[in-house]
Amino acid sequence: MNRVFLFLPLAIFIVMGVYFALGLREDPSSIPSRMIDRPLPVFDLPGIAEGEPGFSNADLDGQVALVNVFGSWCPPCEIEHPMLMQISRSGRVPIFGVDWRDEPGAGAAWLARNGNPYQRVGDDPEGDLAFELGITGAPETFLIDRQGRVRFHHVGVIDETVWRDTLLPMIEALEVE
Amino acid sequence: MIAELGQFALILAFVVALFQSVAIFAGLRTGDAVVHGFARTGAIAQFVLVLAAFACLTVLFAQSDFTALVVAENSHTDKPFLYKLTGVWGNHEGSMLLWALILTAYTAALAWSAKPVEARLISLTFAVQSLITAAFTAFLLFTSNPFARLWPGPENGQDLNPLLQDPGLASHPPMLYAGYVGFSITFAFAVAALIEGRVDARWARIVRPWALAAWTFLTIGIALGASWAYYELGWGGWWAWDPVENASLMPWLAGTAFIHSLRVMEKRDTLKAWTILLALLTFALSMVGTFLVRSGVLTSVHAFAVDPERGVFILAILVALIGGSLLIYGLRANLLKPTGLFSEISRESTLLVNNLVLAASCALVFFGTFYPLFITTVSDETVTVGAPFYNSTFNPMVGALLILVPISGMLAWKRGKLMPVLKDLAPAGMAALAGAIAAFWIADRGLVAGALGTALAIWIALGVLTDLAKRFKLGEIAFSASLARAARLPLGIWGMAVAHFGVAIVVFAITGVSAWKQEASAFLMPGQHLDIRELAITLDDVQQYEGSNYVAERGEFTVRRGQRVVANMTAERRLYPVRGMSTTESAIHARASGDVYVTIGQPSPEHGWPVHVYLYPFAVWLWIGSAVLGLGGLLSLSDRGRRALAAKPKARAANPEPAE
Amino acid sequence: MRPDLLILTIFLVVLTYSPVALASPPPDEQMVDPGMEIRARELYRDLRCVVCQSQSIDESNAALAADMRDKVRQRLLAGDSNAEVLAWVRERYGDYVLMTPPLQANTLFLWLLPFIALIGGGAVLVSFVRRQARQAGIRMDGEDEAELARLRDEEGQS
């Protein structure tokens, strides 16, 4: 037998080892967003409580904005909330909320308790908009440009670091676009 | 104090293993005879030390000592005592310690059983085995210390994942690990053979019991896992092509190929380089399975993001052991010259086809399992490789291979004749055809798959019986003479026949469970019933019930056929407050013809309790078949050496080694 | 086509069809039309629960899986074909959501692997066995016959 062939298993192993070494830094359970550079779907959500305004495409009104999907049932949202409040108070960028899969009134009560960082909040009890957005959990946040397109999709909690190092620079870039 | 004792024992085990490995390699170079004796003592010392460490961890769990980190994270004072014990390996650190324990147990078993032949080979094997032990005890000590302390200890622990609080945890992981780790011995023997640059039938005979023992443990371990999933997941799913399951299937496929090619090597002194490669790959896959998949790397980035040290360590071990052994293989495998020759139509050829298909299907599972990872690495895309993929690729490949089983067994070694074999198997073929037609006729669902599965099962089962009948010369000679032949038949042949019969049973059970399963569901209030086929399942009553660390809702059911009561069953839904998780405890009424499988869900105030009923035809044969498969392995491993069957003792008997 | 190849082909094609039904969604999710229900169950098995570990939405009791089943039923009631429903979900969640990887450039290797392995390995195997069998043919003599007899005898095949 040709002796070179005897090194074939080693060669295959090395190639796969390199892949592993690279691949292990990736998170296979993070799904690449399908929404990047696409316009937000057309939606018109009702308000989360009697008499509250709802949330639709028109509300975005050509501004750079964040759309945050949350729910009163979601513990990480609780963790994220103070950060959203801080951003909201700074007035740097408007935040819109999508209350996902909540019992009637639960979202409103939650916001009354924790403060409301959102310009408008839409109620999505059946997850219709969330499904259109390819949501896999809460919280998730979309960065929308002036044309109403999604430019960034953040899965998970926005904390100080995400805001400072990722979102803020992107917002600044989008505003001069 | 106990934790420190365990820690100390583990450190000592690491030092002994490392020292022993280095000493043997060095000693063999200088030809020092003392090394051989030392190898055995050292092997037993390693085992005793790791056993001591394991005992310490067990005591920590038994005493619910929450100043030990793993105990605090995985136990609770209210947990039933059995699960406190099995909880020892219900977590990463403890399961790695169990791995190390089994590893050293095998080394000790080798020390205890090895005959004073092939002293150099055995010593080298000890050296490789000790090297593996050193690597894994180091892994434990530096990245997964089971004896880490937590000061001050919390009031109570976080409890064990409720899914693991099951008798299945007592048997499945140890059995599975005994399989995985058993292949370390064959790996070590293979590396030793490569270093020696010589491998022959004698090597095969020394290695065979180890290979078969590991294979048998792995087979039983996988079956236990499947049965655990069957009753615990709450819908009878026994195999889902999940990465964790694939991780155990890969070494099983490679190991199955290995025990077949090992047989060729033992009998015919050929396929040497290939057999050695399989020995290396089987253990490589065992390690990949344990560490890359079980550590959660494939399914969550957690293991690496939280603890990159652990990931790098795992990679280093894999590169050193697998890469190192494959390098030696590349350098030395050319020394393994085959001598035996065989023609196209022969047992050897069919076993080569077996090896080809098993290797290809193993590669398929490997790439299927890791493909999402590969894709994510090279692009921003990601895909899912789920059950439908394997069903459409793996199943037909292995199904087609199984057609070959009876033919292979009946062909002669070296040079066989196909036509007589096919003629002998004709009745089995006819019966298979009849079975397929009958299955197609009787079943009202799963028609084609059911018919094919039935035909395959009958073909293999009758083929095996035909093979045995031919070997006994049943009907050709007097019955008593046939019995005498049966009694003299080598255990290896019995093992093969029994194992293949087990395959037939498993194939039939899989067919029944998947092609002919039925299900129905409805919301029931007590007193209402649900119909499935000719059975009526009545929810009699629902009771609240409090276990030691859970609360349960218990549904009591009566299964009736017409007016006759077939069975009374009790299904539960449990809530474990500490972890806030709930589990389903399904009720299973098992009969030879199939299982009635009932679960109860979370009630809704207006509708009542959601009740699911499944009928899994022939499900119990899945476990029986697996046990038969394992029995085949046991029989075969008990076969020592060869002997002439016909009553004509020759001089050869005194010289069991065939002339090379 | 040779008969043995035909049988093999039938085998391969037929086993591809897998009627395995697994877990069940809750009873209140059942569709009124039994034909629709069967189609829905097929689709559930082809769609991954995106928050679970390698489970289809048929097997998962996660809330998101229930939502996705609901959407599948809505599309079916709206008159979509099975393929249209799958395409619709894939549009939103990507290839990841399909339990079977779609046949496309980046999965070509995976799908071809069984063929590559069997044909490539088969070619090596055949050439090895042929070469070997030629040598074996040369050495057919009395010693060879004796060995054949011994091998048969050892296993009761004489």
Query: What is chain B's Cα-based Rg?
Result: 27
Q: Is the peptide bond before B152 cis (omega within 30 degrees of 0)?
A: yes
Q: How many CB atoms lie within 10 A of CB B584?
A: 20
Residue in chain B nearest A6 by alpha carbon = B330
Instruction: State which residues form the domain around A108.
Output: 33-176
| pLDDT surpasses 80 at B139 | yes
Instruction: Test C92 with A101 for CB contact under 8 angstroms.
Output: no
- Split at pLDDT 50, 70, 90, the class of C29 is confident
What's the pLDDT at B590? 94
Whether residue A34 and residue C70 make contact (CB cut-off 8 A), yes or no, is: no
A41-68, pLDDT tens digit by residue? 999 999 998 888 999 999 988 899 999 9
pLDDT at residue B577 in the model: 85
B144-to-A120, B59, B101, B131, B136 alpha-carbon distances in Å: 48, 19, 15, 18, 10
Greatest mean pLDDT range, B151-160, B243-252, B500-509: B500-509
In a domain, A74, yes or no: yes
For the segment B68-80, the average pLDDT, to the nearest whole number, is 89
* Tens digit of each residue's pLDDT (9 = 90 or more) over B613-627: 999 999 999 999 999
Strand spans (E) along B433-534: 518-524, 529-532
What is the spatial distance between Cα B439 and Cα B618, in angstroms, rounded to a whole number? 14
Q: Which residues of A touch B296 (CB under 8 A)?
A: none
pLDDT in tens, B553-567: 999 999 999 999 999
Do the domain assignments include residue A7? no
DSSP per-residue codes, B309-322: HHHHHHHHHHIIII
Interface of C with B in 55-84 (CB under 8 A): 55-56, 59
**Per-residue model confidence (pLDDT) at position A151:** 92
Phi, psi of B30, deg, nearest 5: -90, 0
**Across the interface, do B323 and A17 touch by the CB < 8 Å criterion?**
yes
Touching partners of A (3+ C-beta pairs < 8 Å): B, C
Provide the pLDDT for residue B656: 41
Q: Is C109 on the interface with A (CB under 8 A)?
A: no
Does C96 contact chain B (CB < 8 Å)?
yes
Most confident of B153-167, B451-465, B478-492: B451-465
Structure confidence at residue B308 (pLDDT): 63
- Residues A20 and B315: beta-carbon distance below 8 Å: yes
What local confidence, expressed as pLDDT, does residue B298 receive? 59
Mean pLDDT of A26-39: 74
Query: Which pLDDT score, from 0 to 100, does residue B655 have?
Result: 42
Q: Are B24 and B50 contacting, i.e. CB atoms less than 8 angstroms apart?
A: no
- B409 neighbors B467 (Cβ within 8 angstroms): yes
Is the distance from CB of B324 to CB of B645 less than 8 angstroms?
A: no
Contact of B593 with B616, CB cutoff 8 Å: no
What residues contact residue B72 under an 8 Å CB cut-off, 6+ apart? Answer: B66, B150, B153, B154, B157, B158
Q: How confident is the model at residue B327 (pLDDT cuts 50, 70, 90)?
A: very high
**Entry pTM:** 0.91
Quote the CA–CA distance of A29 and B299 in Å, as a whole number: 6
pLDDT surpassing 50 at residue B126: yes
Q: What is the predicted pLDDT for the residue at B412? A: 92
Q: Which of A163-177, B300-314, B343-357, B611-625 has the lowest mean pLDDT?
A: B300-314
pLDDT at residue B23 in the model = 86
Mean pLDDT, to the nearest integer, of B335-349?
90
From chain B, the residues in CB contact with A21 under 8 A are: 315
- Does the pLDDT at position B142 exceed 50? yes
CB contact at 8 A, B97 and B146: yes
Chain A residue closest to C74 (CA)?
A128
Q: Does B305 score more than 60 pLDDT? A: no
Q: What is the pLDDT of residues B3-56, one digit of tens each?
A: 999 999 999 999 999 999 988 888 877 666 667 777 888 999 999 999 999 999
DSSP B29-82: HHT-THHHHHHHHHHHHHHHHHHHHHHHHHHHHHTT-TTBHHHHHH--TTS-HH
DSSP code of residue A164: I
Does A12 reside within a domain? no
Q: Which of A171, A58, A170, A66 is nearest to A118 (CA)?
A: A66
Residue C24 binned pLDDT confidence (cut-offs 50, 70, 90): low
The whole-angstrom separation of Cα B648 and Cα B213 is 32
- pLDDT at site C139: 63
Beta-bridge mates of residue A44? A56
Q: What is the pLDDT of residue A27?
A: 60
From CA B355, how far away is CA B361, in angstroms rounded? 10
**What burial class does residue B198 get, using C-beta atoms within 10 Å of its C-beta: 0-12 exposed, 13-18 middle, 19+ buried?**
middle
Mean pLDDT within B72-76: 89
- Distance CA(B434)–CA(C85), nearest Å, equals 41
C98 contacts chain B (CB < 8 A) = yes
- Report the alpha-carbon distance of residue B529 to residue B251 in Å, rounded: 46
pLDDT for residue C127 is more than 90: yes
**pLDDT exceeds cutoff 70 at B223:** yes
Mean pLDDT score across all residues of chain A: 88
DSSP state of B292: I
In a domain, A41, yes or no: yes
Domain membership flag for residue A6: no
B607, closest residue in chain C (CA to CA): C28
| pLDDT over 70, % of chain B | 93
Q: What DSSP letter does each residue of B320-351 carry, written as one string?
A: IIIIHHHHHHHHHGGG--------SSSHHHHH
User: Rounded to an integer, what distance in angstroms lies between the CA atom of residue B304 and that of residue B295?
Assistant: 9
Side-by-side strand order, sheet with B518-524: B518-524, B609-617, B594-600, B587-591
For residue range B372-382, what is the model confidence (pLDDT) as tens digits?
888 888 887 88
Percentage of chain C exceeding pLDDT 90: 42
Domains defined along chain B, listed by start: 1-164 (1.20.120), 166-409 (no CATH), 518-620 (no CATH)
Q: What integer pLDDT is reported at residue B583 of this predicted model?
A: 83
For B281, other C-beta atoms within 10 Å of its C-beta total 28
Has residue B138 got a pLDDT over 80?
A: yes
Q: Which residues pair with B532 in a beta bridge?
A: B535
Mean pLDDT, range C12-30, rounded to an integer: 51
Q: Lowest mean pLDDT: which of A29-38, B557-566, B593-602?
A: A29-38
Residue C46's pLDDT is what? 93
- Does the pLDDT at position B310 exceed 80? no
Q: Could you give the number of structural domains in chain A?
A: 1
Q: What does the pLDDT average to over B298-307?
A: 48
Q: Is the pLDDT of residue B267 over 80?
A: yes
Asked whether the beta carbons of B385 and B371 are under 8 A apart, the reply is yes
**All chains having 3 or more CB pairs closer than 8 angstroms to chain B:** A, C
CATH number assigned to the domain comprising residue A68: 3.40.30.10
Look at residue A76 and tell me if it is in a domain: yes
Provide, rounded to the nearest whole percent, the portion of chain A with pLDDT above 70.
94
Confidence bin at B649 (pLDDT 50/70/90):
very low
> Which pLDDT does position A30 carry in this prediction?
64
Contact C70 A126 (CB under 8 A): yes
Residue range C45-96, pLDDT digits in tens: 999 988 777 788 988 878 888 889 999 999 999 999 999 999 999 988 889 8
Does A102 fall in a domain? yes
Evaluate whether residue A27 is within a structural domain.
Answer: no
pLDDT digits (tens, 9 = 90+) for B426-439: 999 999 999 999 99
Question: Is the CB of residue C11 less than 8 Å away from at least one CB of chain A?
Answer: no
More confident call, C142 vs C156: C156
Give phi and psi for A19, each to the nearest 5: -60, -45
The per-residue pLDDT of chain B, averaged, comes to 89
| Residue B197 Rama label (left phi>0; alpha psi -120 to 50; beta) | left
Q: Which residues of chain A approach chain B closer than 8 Å at the C-beta?
A: 1, 3, 6-7, 9-10, 13-14, 16-17, 19-32
Q: What is the ipTM of this complex?
A: 0.85
